[in-house]
Amino acid sequence: MSSRVIHLLLLCSTTTTTTVPGGGPAAAAAAAAGAPPPSSSSSSVRVRVQVGLPPGRRAKSRLVLPPRCASSAGMEPGATTALYPLHRCKTIYLVRHAQGIHNVAGEKDFGAYMSHDLFDAQLTPLGWSQVDGLREHVKKSGLAEKIELVISSPLLRTMQTAVGVFGGEKYTDGVNAPPLMVENAGHSGRPAVSSLNCPPFIAVETCREHLGVHPCDKRRSITEYRPLFPAIDFSLIENDEDVLWEPDVREANEAVALRGMKFMDWLWTREEKEIAIVSHSGFLFHTLSMYSKECHPTIRDEVSKHFANCELRSMVLVDRSMLGSYSPRFNYPGKIPAGLDLPSDIADKKLVEEAEKN
């Protein structure tokens, strides 16, 4: 099986690496999550998520040896740093949705996650307060001006979080643009959110939470969502109804991790370089655990720990296998002098070559 070669790097930190070892992705994901290797029954879990690659674009995977990750002992000089061309990097901002009604119910009684009353759970009043706090941080830090695209899981709580944090100011009548969210969407009690002066929003199935069994993780039809979130682009979702969620089959952890890696591959089909992604605790944890499993324990713990509600983490996504095809924007080719100004190392090489000829 081909190895995954996209990497996640923490900003201003040690390199983190992702590969899927030859022993099998299921075993690797289980090990990363601290679980025993999956049994033969768990490997039969069905996952039918479309990555959403544009026509004619296919992600490539090549077998590449992972770069050095510093171990806790015997650290070599220079082993904790890495260099990558800037045009082969994207900055991603990973966000877990704010507190939902299912989080409150599940904390009191885990069995509540089976309740159909929590179907497609919406945010709580505390959750909306968390959204307001993160929105203020995003604006004050200057991040609001940097983000070129917002990707959201197509569930009510993630889309509410996404538009609340990264959307435009309050929507007013007379503005000739559809709102990102209409007033009181999902019984939020919130005013409409404008789509002006903010990045585009798209909904993507691949970054959903664990599929199956829990009604809170089942989405509504796209026909129901469109009137609530008019300016969100749902065109990458192939089916109106939720055909991925099954009442009696819960997606395995290793399947979630592999789906997450497909999602990261798909990001390289996008032209945007600064992307915010609003997703879920399980999806983020298992995906990042897979990516960080061969890194130094300190970095692994930092990358793969569970997200709090409405937590944001900034990371760098590195393309080591030319999945993307982007030209460097800031590089300048220059010219090597042909005369006396020839660089000394090249001149020395030429002297050696001349000597060998004679």
Q: What confidence score (pLDDT) does residue 192 get?
A: 93
CA 42 to the chain's CA centroid: 25
Report the pLDDT value the prediction gives residue 63, as an integer from 0 to 100: 32
Higher pLDDT, 18 or 84: 84
Q: Point out the residues that are catalytic.
A: 97, 209
pLDDT of residue 339: 63
State the pLDDT confidence band at 78, using cuts at 50, 70 and 90. Answer: low
The residue with greater pLDDT, 76 or 3, is 76
Q: With bands split at pLDDT 50, 70 and 90, how would you rate the model's confidence at 122?
A: very high
DSSP state of 155: S
Which of 228, 209, 221, 211 lies closest to 152, judged by CA? 209
| Model confidence, pTM | 0.75
Residue 207 has pLDDT above 80, yes or no: yes
* Domain 92-318: homologous superfamily in CATH: Phosphoglycerate mutase-like (3.40.50.1240)
The pLDDT tens digits of the residues spanning 236-245 come to: 999 999 999 9
Residue type, 103: N
**pLDDT tens digits, one per residue of 268-303:** 889 999 999 999 999 999 999 998 887 888 888 899
**Biggest alpha carbon–alpha carbon distance for the chain:** 87
What's the pLDDT score for residue 174? 65
- The CB density around residue 12, as the number of other CB atoms within 10 Å, is 7
| 86 pLDDT higher than 80 | yes
SS (H, E, C) 49-100: CCCCCCCCCCCCCCCCCCCCCCCCCCCCCCCCCCCCCHHHEEEEEEEECCCE
Domain assignments of the chain as residue spans, ordered by start: 92-318
pLDDT(73) > 60: no
pLDDT > 70? residue 156: yes
Give the per-residue pLDDT at 325.
Answer: 63
The tokens 């877990």 sit on which residue?
96
Please state, rounded to an integer, the average pLDDT across all residues of the chain. 80
Q: Is the dihedral of CA 216, 26, 16, 276 positive or negative?
A: negative
121 contacts 209 by C-beta, under 8 angstroms: no
- Give the bridge partners for 278, in sequence order: 95, 152
CA dist., res. 314 & res. 50, Å (int) = 26
Enumerate residues 6+ apart whose C-beta is below 8 A from 77.
none
CA angle 231, 233, 235 (to 5 degrees): 145
Q: Which pLDDT does position 272 carry in this prediction?
A: 94
